[in-house]
Amino acid sequence: MERVPILKLGDILIISIQIDLDDQSVLALQEDLADRVVSAGARGVIIDISAVEIIDSFIGRMFATIAGMCRMLDAETVVVGMRPAVAITLVELGLSLGGVRTALNLEKGVALLDHLGDRGTPR
Protein backbone atom coordinates (compact mmCIF):
# COMPACT_ATOMS: atom_id res chain seq x y z
CA MET A 1 0.00 0.00 0.00
CA GLU A 2 2.58 2.53 -1.04
CA ARG A 3 0.76 4.44 -3.77
CA VAL A 4 -1.73 7.11 -2.83
CA PRO A 5 -5.03 6.24 -4.54
CA ILE A 6 -6.59 8.88 -6.78
CA LEU A 7 -10.38 8.99 -6.67
CA LYS A 8 -12.40 10.47 -9.54
CA LEU A 9 -15.77 12.11 -9.17
CA GLY A 10 -17.06 13.76 -12.32
CA ASP A 11 -14.22 15.95 -13.58
CA ILE A 12 -12.62 16.32 -10.16
CA LEU A 13 -9.85 14.11 -8.79
CA ILE A 14 -9.67 13.58 -5.03
CA ILE A 15 -6.57 12.55 -3.12
CA SER A 16 -6.54 11.80 0.59
CA ILE A 17 -3.05 11.92 2.09
CA GLN A 18 -2.79 9.38 4.90
CA ILE A 19 0.75 8.04 4.72
CA ASP A 20 4.07 9.70 5.45
CA LEU A 21 5.32 10.80 2.08
CA ASP A 22 8.95 10.24 1.19
CA ASP A 23 10.73 11.25 -2.00
CA GLN A 24 9.72 8.11 -3.88
CA SER A 25 6.03 8.21 -3.02
CA VAL A 26 5.83 11.92 -3.82
CA LEU A 27 7.35 11.35 -7.25
CA ALA A 28 5.00 8.41 -7.84
CA LEU A 29 2.02 10.51 -6.76
CA GLN A 30 2.97 13.36 -9.07
CA GLU A 31 3.36 11.00 -12.03
CA ASP A 32 0.13 9.13 -11.31
CA LEU A 33 -1.71 12.40 -10.87
CA ALA A 34 -0.45 13.93 -14.11
CA ASP A 35 -1.50 10.79 -15.96
CA ARG A 36 -4.95 10.78 -14.37
CA VAL A 37 -5.56 14.51 -14.98
CA VAL A 38 -4.94 13.91 -18.67
CA SER A 39 -6.77 10.58 -19.01
CA ALA A 40 -9.77 11.80 -17.01
CA GLY A 41 -9.82 15.28 -18.51
CA ALA A 42 -10.02 16.60 -14.97
CA ARG A 43 -10.57 20.28 -14.34
CA GLY A 44 -9.76 20.15 -10.66
CA VAL A 45 -7.69 18.30 -8.08
CA ILE A 46 -8.57 18.26 -4.39
CA ILE A 47 -5.94 17.14 -1.88
CA ASP A 48 -7.35 16.29 1.54
CA ILE A 49 -4.82 16.62 4.35
CA SER A 50 -7.14 16.17 7.33
CA ALA A 51 -5.05 13.18 8.44
CA VAL A 52 -1.76 15.06 8.13
CA GLU A 53 -0.37 16.23 11.47
CA ILE A 54 2.88 17.77 10.32
CA ILE A 55 3.66 19.72 7.16
CA ASP A 56 7.26 20.65 6.49
CA SER A 57 8.83 22.54 3.62
CA PHE A 58 9.15 19.27 1.67
CA ILE A 59 5.40 18.66 1.68
CA GLY A 60 4.77 22.34 1.07
CA ARG A 61 6.91 22.20 -2.05
CA MET A 62 5.06 19.09 -3.18
CA PHE A 63 1.74 20.96 -3.11
CA ALA A 64 3.26 23.82 -5.10
CA THR A 65 4.72 21.41 -7.67
CA ILE A 66 1.45 19.52 -8.04
CA ALA A 67 -0.51 22.75 -8.40
CA GLY A 68 1.91 24.08 -11.02
CA MET A 69 1.84 20.80 -12.92
CA CYS A 70 -1.96 20.61 -12.85
CA ARG A 71 -2.26 24.21 -13.98
CA MET A 72 -0.17 23.34 -17.04
CA LEU A 73 -2.71 20.60 -17.70
CA ASP A 74 -5.57 23.06 -17.28
CA ALA A 75 -6.69 21.85 -13.84
CA GLU A 76 -6.87 23.79 -10.58
CA THR A 77 -5.61 22.38 -7.27
CA VAL A 78 -7.22 22.95 -3.88
CA VAL A 79 -5.83 21.71 -0.57
CA VAL A 80 -8.59 20.96 1.95
CA GLY A 81 -8.95 19.79 5.55
CA MET A 82 -5.91 21.47 7.05
CA ARG A 83 -5.81 21.05 10.82
CA PRO A 84 -5.68 24.26 12.87
CA ALA A 85 -2.38 23.17 14.44
CA VAL A 86 -0.87 22.69 10.99
CA ALA A 87 -1.94 26.17 9.89
CA ILE A 88 -0.42 27.65 13.06
CA THR A 89 2.86 25.81 12.51
CA LEU A 90 3.04 26.84 8.86
CA VAL A 91 2.66 30.51 9.77
CA GLU A 92 5.03 30.31 12.72
CA LEU A 93 7.72 28.69 10.59
CA GLY A 94 7.15 31.17 7.80
CA LEU A 95 6.38 28.35 5.35
CA SER A 96 4.04 28.95 2.48
CA LEU A 97 2.25 26.47 0.24
CA GLY A 98 3.50 28.23 -2.85
CA GLY A 99 0.25 30.04 -3.50
CA VAL A 100 -1.83 26.86 -3.51
CA ARG A 101 -5.53 27.48 -2.90
CA THR A 102 -7.04 26.07 0.29
CA ALA A 103 -10.58 25.37 1.45
CA LEU A 104 -11.95 24.22 4.80
CA ASN A 105 -13.23 20.84 3.67
CA LEU A 106 -14.02 18.71 0.63
CA GLU A 107 -17.42 20.31 0.03
CA LYS A 108 -16.03 23.83 0.09
CA GLY A 109 -13.19 22.68 -2.16
CA VAL A 110 -15.66 21.38 -4.73
CA ALA A 111 -17.63 24.64 -4.47
CA LEU A 112 -14.41 26.62 -5.04
CA LEU A 113 -13.58 24.58 -8.15
CA ASP A 114 -17.14 25.07 -9.43
CA HIS A 115 -16.76 28.80 -8.86
CA LEU A 116 -13.41 28.90 -10.67
CA GLY A 117 -14.89 26.91 -13.55
CA ASP A 118 -17.83 29.27 -13.85
CA ARG A 119 -15.61 32.27 -14.33
CA GLY A 120 -14.20 30.68 -17.46
CA THR A 121 -11.30 33.08 -17.67
CA PRO A 122 -8.52 32.11 -20.05
CA ARG A 123 -5.37 31.01 -18.27
| Interface with its own copies (CB under 8 A) | 1, 3-5, 7-10, 14, 16, 18-20, 48, 50-53, 81, 105-107, 110
* Closer residue to its own copies, CB minimum distance, 19 or 27: 19
Closest approach of its own copies to the CB of residue 119, in Å: 22
* Closer residue to its own copies, CB minimum distance, 1 or 115: 1
Q: Determine the Cα–Cα distance for residues 61 and 12; give it in Å rounded to an integer.
A: 22
Per 3-state DSSP, the chain is made up of helix, strand and coil in percentages (nearest 5) of: 45, 20, 35
Burial of 51 (0-12, 13-18, 19+ CB in 10 A): exposed
Closest approach of its own copies to the CB of residue 37, in Å: 16
* Closer residue to its own copies, CB minimum distance, 10 or 68: 10
* Closer residue to its own copies, CB minimum distance, 18 or 96: 18
Residue-wise burial string across 11-46, b where 16 or more C-beta atoms lie within 10 A, e elsewhere: ebbbbbbeeebeeebbeebeebbbebbeeeebbbbb
Closest approach of its own copies to the CB of residue 13, in Å: 10
Closest approach of its own copies to the CB of residue 122, in Å: 29
